[in-house]
């Protein structure tokens, strides 16, 4: 007998028929002797629809009211799924965030969970009843509804699993697991059987959008094993867990991210304090800079070039402060390039293997791809290249690091 959390995403509860399938799955687990807590998202498209209505009313809707509105999507799903389970002959009960006291910090639309009182939930499932919890929502100390940020039902599920010490947190979605890279651009991508929290965090933040990043942080903190799998099949998916028992392959996955743009400050005076001024101004504007490179200017003399990347969505703020900054420090010209992509290789094995970065550079060089910026961490190497080479780079790296699946039937 196990205590199991099953989270179903929007597509898995996207219609009444689909709700029946997830209800059947939960009932099967319950009949096999498990205690089952279901967490549900809003039906596919519903959150967007609700937020769209709000922005039709006013361009800058009040965040408190947005949360009252957006949280209804999950309330609808929870009630309908509980009714479906009951219809199939099994006891079930829906529960809202406020009813199981998911206490949040009051930050409307992006709240964090402070505490969950697990007792009500455990009482509900103690006698075989299935609890159906509305994801994405909590309640703050003022009694207001808070939502947890887009994709937040994943975090509800993991936090509940931690609070009730569930044996596993299953995340059911419309893909069958986490892949070595984006299967849309590399058909040799393979499903990963097991991945560590650290690797998943790097891949998630780089664009493998299977799990809300925060849910992986919570899972890592409390040691909750996550099983990402498809609600449309019975095949095992990907286990996201601690490092123990992981075969340490050098590279686990290849990610790419087109969300950043490159800014180059050319002919900046090479003297103490200049770089501090540039990045101080950006920090004041709340722009989070990712990669930074400083190199001597081509013209020589006492000038240097400073290159860095920022989220494209911060570009307007970046332009404003960087242009002001260039006037202040004098001499600098500015160039922007939005047609870039950051390609990254991620793997725990890099800690113990030398030469991984140079292998990446060689693979890109052999494809004639120029590297514009590089950054490394313990388990990741990232290169900025021209975005038109995204597919080529990802495929070459996928093959070069031995990630291609071998069962591929080439037509």
Nearer to Mg ion, 9 or 347 (CB): 9
DSSP letter at 379 equals: T
Q: CB of 39: closest distance to ligand ASP in angstroms?
A: 9
Nearer to ligand ASP, 29 or 78 (CB): 78
Q: CB of 151: closest distance to ligand ASP in angstroms?
A: 5
Partner touching 135 among ligand ASP, Mg ion, none, CB below 5 to 8 Å by kind: ligand ASP
Question: What x-and-dash track marks residues 132-161 binding Mg ion by CB under 5 A?
Answer: -------------------x----------
Per CB under 5 A, 261 contacts Mg ion: no
What's the rounded Cα separation, in Å, for the pair 52 and 32?
Answer: 42
Strands in 145-147's sheet, in edge-to-edge order, are: 113-116, 102-104, 137-139, 145-147
Q: CB of 137: closest distance to ligand ASP in angstroms?
A: 9
Q: CB of 154: closest distance to Mg ion in angstroms?
A: 6
Asked if residues 226 and 219 have their Cβ atoms less than 8 Å apart, the reply is yes
What's the rounded Cα separation, in Å, for the pair 400 and 51?
Answer: 44
Q: Which helix (H) or strand (E) holds 306?
A: strand 303-311
What's the rounded Cα separation, in Å, for the pair 49 and 190?
Answer: 34
Partner touching 73 among Mg ion, ligand ASP, none, CB below 5 to 8 Å by kind: ligand ASP
Find where tokens 């059947």 sit.
Answer: 24
What's the rounded Cα separation, in Å, for the pair 227 and 384?
Answer: 32
Partner touching 124 among Mg ion, ligand ASP, none, CB below 5 to 8 Å by kind: none
Size of site (CB under 5 A) for Mg ion? 2
Query: Among 5-13, 250-258, 290-298, 396-404, which window interacts with Mg ion (CB under 5 A)?
Result: 5-13
Angle ∠(72,97,34) on CA atoms, nearest 5 = 110
Partner touching 150 among ligand ASP, Mg ion, none, CB below 5 to 8 Å by kind: ligand ASP
Burial of 98 from C-beta contacts in 10 A (0-12 / 13-18 / 19+): middle
Strands 102-104 and 113-116 come out as antiparallel
Nearer to Mg ion, 61 or 149 (CB): 149
Q: CB of 169: closest distance to ligand ASP in angstroms?
A: 14
**C-alpha neighbours within 13 Å on the C-beta side of residue 355:** 3
Partner touching 42 among Mg ion, ligand ASP, none, CB below 5 to 8 Å by kind: ligand ASP
DSSP letter at 279 equals: H
Asked if residues 199 and 177 have their Cβ atoms less than 8 Å apart, the reply is no
Q: What count of other Cβ atoms lies within 10 Å of the Cβ of residue 162?
A: 20
Q: CB of 151: closest distance to Mg ion in angstroms?
A: 4
Asked if residues 177 and 191 have their Cβ atoms less than 8 Å apart, the reply is yes
**Token pair listed for 240:** 């996201």
Nearer to ligand ASP, 136 or 389 (CB): 136
Query: Among 6-14, 66-74, 255-263, 351-359, which window interacts with Mg ion (CB under 5 A)?
Result: 6-14
Out of 8, 9, 218, 310, point to the residue binding Mg ion (CB under 5 A). Answer: 9
Query: Among 2-10, 117-125, 277-285, 395-403, which window interacts with Mg ion (CB under 5 A)?
Result: 2-10
Interface residues toward ligand ASP, by CB under 6 A: 10, 41-42, 47, 73, 135-136, 150-154
Nearest CA among 388, 374, 376, 381 for reference residue 341: 388
What's the rounded Cα separation, in Å, for the pair 383 and 114?
Answer: 37
Query: Among 3-11, 89-97, 276-284, 390-398, which window interacts with Mg ion (CB under 5 A)?
Result: 3-11
Q: CB of 164: closest distance to ligand ASP in angstroms?
A: 19
Q: CB of 189: closest distance to ligand ASP in angstroms?
A: 24
The residues that touch Mg ion, with contacts defined as CB under 5 A, are 9, 151
């Amino acid at each position: 007998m196990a205590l199991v959390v099953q989270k179903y995403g929007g597509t898995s509860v996207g219609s009444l028929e689909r709700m029946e399938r997830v209800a059947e799955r939960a009932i099967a687990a319950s009949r096999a002797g498990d205690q089952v807590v279901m967490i549900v998202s809003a039906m596919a498209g519903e959150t967007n629809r609700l937020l769209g209505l709000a922005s039709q009313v006013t361009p800058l809707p009040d965040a408190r009211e947005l949360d009252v509105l957006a949280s209804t999507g999950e309330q609808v799903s929870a009630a309908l799924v509980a009714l479906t389970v009951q219809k199939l002959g099994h006891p079930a009960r829906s529960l809202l965030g406020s009813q199981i006291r998911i206490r949040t910090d009051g930050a409307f639309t992006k709240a964090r969970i402070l505490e969950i009182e697990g007792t009500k939930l455990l009482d509900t499932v103690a006698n075989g009843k299935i609890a159906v919890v509305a994801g994405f929502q909590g309640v703050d100390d003022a009694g207001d509804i808070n939502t947890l940020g887009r994709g937040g039902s994943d975090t509800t599920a993991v936090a509940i699993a931690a609070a009730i010490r569930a044996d596993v947190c299953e995340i059911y979605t419309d893909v069958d697991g986490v892949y070595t890279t984006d299967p849309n651009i590399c058909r040799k991508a393979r499903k990963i059987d097991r991945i560590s929290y650290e690797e998943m965090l790097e891949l998630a933040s780089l664009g493998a959008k299977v799990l809300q990043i925060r849910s992986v942080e919570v899972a890592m903190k409390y040691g909750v094993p996550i099983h990402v799998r498809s609600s449309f099949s019975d095949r095992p998916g990907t286990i996201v867990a601690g490092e123990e028992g992981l075969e340490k392959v050098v590279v686990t996955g290849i990610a790419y991210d087109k969300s950043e743009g490159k800014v180059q400050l050319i002919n900046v005076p090479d003297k103490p304090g200049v770089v501090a001024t540039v990045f101080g101004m950006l920090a004041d504007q709340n722009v989070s800079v990712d990669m930074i490179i400083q190199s001597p200017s081509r013209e020589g003399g006492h000038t240097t070039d400073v290159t860095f990347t920022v989220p494209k969505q911060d570009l307007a703020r970046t332009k404003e402060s960087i242009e002001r900054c260039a006037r202040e420090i004098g001499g600098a010209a500015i160039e922007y390039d939005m047609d870039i992509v950051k390609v990254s290789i991620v793997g725990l094995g890099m800690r113990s293997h030398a030469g991984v970065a140079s292998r990446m550079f060689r693979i890109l060089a052999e494809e004639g791809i120029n590297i514009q910026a590089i950054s490394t961490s313990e388990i990741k190497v990232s290169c900025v290249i021209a975005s038109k080479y995204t597919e080529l780079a990802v495929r070459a790296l996928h093959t070069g690091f031995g990630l291609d699946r071998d069962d591929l039937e080439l037509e």
